[in-house]
């Protein structure tokens, strides 16, 4: 590779997210953390990834403020990896990935789980994107434009449906 290209200085927020959590394991680690995993061994067993990789990934997630280390809640001398608010903020990304599989996967019968609302136990609706005045938006209804206060050269890009 000569060095895998990093997007951390890209001005696109999507690229910046991918730089932080866009690798093969980070999102699954966060998924497990949302399911309640806290200990190194729990992550390793549930995900089945090599321990050296897990070490590197957990360290990177801590460095980025997605996980934080805390003394183990069971009183032992070990440590736990806990989600920060930034880590819990990944939830909508995981929901979007899940719903994309549910809608478009070629073999949906292999998906054995559904996301439900805890109170009623029924499947959730699809993620919805609204305008400030309450209209439900699709990709075709949106565009990307320069943020006020930044260099004005950026052209308005229309998202084509």
Partner DNA sequence: TCCGATGGTTGCATTATTAAACCAAGTTGC
Partner DNA sequence: GCAACTTGGTTTAATAATGCAACCATCGGA
Contacts (CB under 8 A) with a second copy, residues 10-49: 11-18, 22-24, 27-28, 31, 34-36, 49
Q: Which of residues 66-125 bind a second copy (CB under 8 A)?
A: 85-86, 88-106, 110-125
Contact of 73 with 59, CB cutoff 8 Å = no
Kindly state the helix (H) or strand (E) to which residue 83 belongs, with its residue range. Answer: strand 79-83
Q: Minimum CB separation from a second copy for residue 149, in Å?
A: 9
Q: Which of residues 16-55 bind DNA (CB under 7 A)?
A: 23-25, 39-42, 49-53, 55
DSSP-H helix ranges across 2-83: 13-21, 26-35, 40-47, 51-63
Judged by CB under 7 A, does residue 82 bind DNA? no
Q: Dihedral of CA 54/58/59/63: which sign? A: positive
**68, two tokens:** 């934080």
Judged by CB under 8 A, does residue 137 bind a second copy? yes
* Residues at the interface with DNA (CB under 7 A): 1-5, 23-25, 39-42, 49-53, 55-56, 58, 72, 76-79
């Amino acid at each position: 590779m000569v060095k895998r290209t990093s997007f951390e200085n890209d001005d696109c927020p999507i690229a910046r997210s991918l730089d932080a959590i866009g690798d093969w394991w980070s999102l699954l680690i966060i998924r497990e953390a949302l399911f309640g995993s806290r200990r190194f061994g729990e992550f390793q067993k549930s995900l089945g990834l090599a321990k050296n990789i897990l070490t590197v990934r957990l360290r990177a997630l801590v460095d980025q403020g997605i996980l934080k280390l805390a003394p183990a809640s069971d009183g032992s001398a070990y440590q736990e990896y806990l989600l920060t608010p930034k880590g819990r903020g990944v939830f909508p990304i995981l929901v979007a990935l899940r719903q994309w599989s549910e809608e478009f996967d070629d073999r949906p019968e292999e998906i054995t789980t559904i996301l439900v609302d805890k109170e009623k136990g029924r499947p959730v609706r699809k993620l919805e994107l609204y305008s400030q005045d309450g209209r439900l938006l699709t990709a075709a209804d949106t565009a990307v434009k320069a943020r006020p206060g930044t260099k004005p050269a950026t052209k308005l890009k229309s998202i084509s449906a």
